[in-house]
Amino acid sequence: MQYENIIEGNFISRPNRFIAEVEVNSKMETCHVKNTGRCKELLIKGCKVFINEVKNKNRKTKYDLVNVYKGNMLINLDSQMPNKVFEQYLKEGKFLKDITYIKRESTYKNSRFDFYVETLERKIYIEIKGVTLEDNGVALFPDAPTTRGVKHIRELIDAKENGFEAYIVFIIQFKGAKYFTPNKKRDEDLYSALLDAKEIGVNIVALDCIVTKNEIMCDEYVEVRI
C-alpha cells in the first residue's frame, strides 16, 4: 500500500490525540494523527516524521502524520493500514490457500471481526491488530489497555468453540522485531484472554512489514511468545 504525497518533517508536539504540530521547511503544520494510541515512546520532540498531504477541501487539516523514525527504525503509525495490507496479503494467497470468499467487517454475535473468509473446506474469522510499540527489538501490544481488544478475543474463542476457525493476526508496522509478545504490564486482561485463546485453539500469529517513507507491505512471520 502506498502514500502518494509524502513530505518529511520534524515532530514538535501533540496537543491532543488527534493532531500533531510538525515543522516542515521551517513552517509549522497541523497534522491529523492517524493513531489514537499514546505513542509517547515514538512521538518525541525533534524526531523525523513523514506526513501525507491529503487533497480534500472538506478537511480541517491538510496533512496526515503516517510514519516516524525511532532511531534507525521507520515505524508506520497509520491505524488504518494493518487491515489494508493484510487484505492485500490475503488476496494474494499468501496467508490462506483456496480462498473462495472474503468479507470485510463481518458480524459475529456481539462483535464485528475484520474478516470472514471461506476456503473450499474452511470457515474462518480473522481479527487484525496493529502493533507500533517496540522495546529493545521486541514488538508489543497494546500500548494502552483495550477493553475492545479483550472483547474481540473472547468472541473469537466463542467462534472457535462453535465450529469456526479463528485467527488473531498482529500486524507489526515495522521491520526487525525479534519476536512478538503481549504487553502484560499494560493490559493483563488482554494477556489472560490470549492465554485462553491459545489453549482453546485460536491461531495467534504475527506478521512484520516492510516500511518505507511512502509504502508499507506485509512481509514475514514473526515468532509469537505468550
Model pLDDT, residue 111: 87
Give the pTM: 0.94
DSSP 8-class letter at 60: S
What is the per-residue pLDDT across 132-155, written as a single tens digit (0 to 9) for each? 999 999 999 999 899 999 999 999
What is the per-residue pLDDT across 154-185, written as a single tens digit (0 to 9) for each? 999 999 999 999 999 999 999 999 999 999 99
Mean pLDDT for 192-210 is: 98
Q: Which grid coordinates are listed for 193?
A: 484472554
What is the per-residue pLDDT across 91-141, written as a single tens digit (0 to 9) for each? 999 999 999 999 999 999 888 999 999 999 999 999 999 999 999 999 999
CA–CA gap between residue 127 and residue 105 (Å, rounded): 9
Mean pLDDT for 73-81 is: 96
For 49, residues 6+ apart whose C-beta sits below 8 A from its C-beta are: 8, 9, 10, 11, 20, 22, 43, 65, 67, 68, 69
